[in-house]
Amino acid sequence: MPKIIIPTKLETVCKELLEAQGYEVIQDGKTELKALLEKHRDAVGLVVRSEKITAEVIDMLPSLRLVVRAGAGYNTIDIKHARSRNVAVMNTPGANSNAVAEEAVGLMIAGARYFVEGDKTTRAGLWEKNKYMGSEITGKTVGILGFGNIGQLLAKRLRGFDVKLKIYDPFVSLDKAREHGAEIASMEDIFATCDFLSLHLPATKETEKIISTQFFSLMKDGAVLVNCARSEVLDEEALREARKTKRIVFCNDVYDKDEAGLKTCNDIADIMLPHLGASTFEANNNAARMAANQTINFLDRGLAMHVVNKSIPDGLAPEYQQLSSALARFARSYIGAKAPVFEIQASFYGKLKDFSRWLIPPIVAAISGDNKITDIDQAEEYLKSRGITCKIRDTDEGKRYGESITVDLISGAQQMDRVSVRGTLTEGNIILSRMGEFGKLYYEPTGHTAVFVYDDRPGVLAQISQSMALEGLNIEDIRSPHNESGSKSIAILKLNAEPAVELIEKVGRLLHCHAAFTVHI
């Protein structure tokens, strides 16, 4: 059993999910890291939080293939050294976005309603009710700077307050802004007109101290400024100056160092929290789940999601790798798990045609069942060693397939058996759109799927459903179009649990199916 070490106090759901998938998991947040690893030098994976994963630590584990940071920041991991050892490093972005978005709402209200001062003075025996006349968010203008994961979730959470939303993010489209009922505005306009402003941009060279005098000078008196992003984006000295002439309520969660000691913003912050943005049970749980799923996807299926030390290019959404893998697995199951494959033909439509070197490895890993294939060199080596040709077809962009992928497998004694599977991505979900002669499937190929291909006639679906029900299997989704001539039909069923292979084969025989198989993703 491959061994995964979790040398930290991570939610146990990570361990449980990995164990359910057959991994041996050692979770120990007490033993000193190196002492722990010394005992488990055969580990293939590490799931960590903020432990320091240095070159020395990486070198202690000769079989290591993966380090997953359950969380977003990975500056505690030597990612370059990991790459040189062919160890993938992943993070779990977005797991804590909602926690931060909620914190921002909380800080806006706490700042505008004097929660902290109210608490302190009442606790001290005073009654300063008249001093703390606050203002409401409802109906106000709120500005969000940086409209990524957190910024967008914040916009969603603010909907109930009927606010007018203005956003600034140079990389966000008008459509995305409209989807959130927001107006794209300049930073000047946001600072001049907003009653509440929340920062959600990354710390980069371009954003360093970007929130400075020119914007503070525009701010409304009494406006609330929340920083749950990074301390580097705000010019504290400029804020100090601005607060001399007007009231700016500043609520802060982030510092140049996450450690005890007086903070440089002590005198200018109305509320200071010790970087609590991501500190919720739910965010921890999400990160633990994502870490487990990404580990399983990588080690079992060769799918590399959120790899931070491997250059999946910016323009390629990682879900497309998941899509190529899923299509290949469906094609593989259709043509027969043991049928020798002689040729793979793949078509990458739209922008995907520039990314074939990242989309081919998941196909080869899925077809071969060799989940160690994660890059193009390994994929090519495998194909060469098996004498399998892999052709990337020229695509006819006139076909208006958008960003989609087709995987064809050619097999059979005369190399005449062929199956072609096509899919795309819709709203971030992978979708199977065609399999063999059956189009317009629009099926999400995840979970437990059973497929039956049969001569079209009434009553077959009912018989299939009944056979599943008799085994206690619930059908969660079903697609059943027929082919163009109407002679054959396909039934694709999403089941709530894995069906026994014998059951599917039995139903296949009973209904004289041309094909009957299962796929689990």
102 binds ligand NAD (CB under 6 A): no
Stretch that binds ligand NAD, among 21-29, 106-114, 270-278, 451-459 (CB under 6 A): 270-278
74 binds ligand NAD (CB under 6 A): no
Q: Which is nearer to ligand NAD, 168 or 330 (CB)?
A: 168
Maximum separation of any 2 CA atoms in the chain, in Å: 91
Name residues contacting ligand NAD, limited to 448-507 (CB under 6 A).
none
111 binds ligand NAD (CB under 6 A): no
CB 71 within 8 A of CB 49: yes
β-strands 182-184, 164-168 pairing: parallel
Give the residue closest to ligand NAD by C-beta. 148
Three-class SS of 31-59: CCHHHHHHHCCCCCEEEECCCCECHHHHH
Stretch that binds ligand NAD, among 274-282, 331-339, 471-479, 505-513 (CB under 6 A): 274-282
Name residues contacting ligand NAD, limited to 277-316 (CB under 6 A).
277-278
Give least dist CB 279 to ligand NAD, A: 7
- Say how far apart CA 96 and CA 98 lie, in whole Å: 6
Stretch that binds ligand NAD, among 44-52, 272-280, 315-323, 347-355 (CB under 6 A): 272-280
Contacting residue, 92, 96, 198, 449, with ligand NAD by CB under 6 A = 96
Name residues contacting ligand NAD, limited to 235-264 (CB under 6 A).
253-254
151 binds ligand NAD (CB under 6 A): yes
143 binds ligand NAD (CB under 6 A): no
108 binds ligand NAD (CB under 6 A): no
CA distances from 311 to 1, 131, 315, 368 (A): 30, 55, 11, 24
In the structure encoding, which two tokens stand for residue 372, read together?
A: 């160690």
3-state secondary structure of 304: coil
Q: Which is nearer to ligand NAD, 184 or 373 (CB)?
A: 184
212 binds ligand NAD (CB under 6 A): no
155 binds ligand NAD (CB under 6 A): no
Site string for ligand NAD, 218-237 (x = CB under 6 A): ----------xxx-------
DSSP sequence for 64-114 = --EEEESSS--TTB-HHHHHHTT-EEEE-TTTTHHHHHHHHHHHHHHHHTT
Q: Which is nearer to ligand NAD, 315 or 472 (CB)?
A: 315
Phi-psi region of 396 (alpha: psi -120 to 50; beta: other; left: phi over 0): beta
Q: Which is nearer to ligand NAD, 53 or 185 (CB)?
A: 185
349 binds ligand NAD (CB under 6 A): no
169 binds ligand NAD (CB under 6 A): yes
Give least dist CB 169 to ligand NAD, A: 4
CA distances from 440 to 176, 322, 370, 420, 436 (A): 27, 20, 31, 14, 11
Backbone angles phi, psi at 419, to 5 degrees: -135, 145
319-335 vs 356-368: helix crossing angle, rounded to 10: 40
274 binds ligand NAD (CB under 6 A): no
Give least dist CB 254 to ligand NAD, A: 6
β-bridge partners, 288 = none
Q: 153-183 burial, b for 16+ CB within 10 Å, e for fewer?
A: bbbeebeebebebbbbbeebeeebbeebebb
- Say how far apart CA 277 and CA 274 lie, in whole Å: 9
Residues binding ligand NAD: what is the number (CB under 6 A)?
30
* Residue linked to tokens 């209200």: 109
Contacting residue, 113, 157, 176, 275, with ligand NAD by CB under 6 A = 275
Q: Which is nearer to ligand NAD, 198 or 489 (CB)?
A: 198
- Say how far apart CA 40 and CA 35 lie, in whole Å: 9
Which residues in this chain contact ligand NAD in the complex, by CB under 6 A? 72, 96-97, 100, 145-151, 168-172, 200-203, 206-207, 228-230, 253-254, 275, 277-278
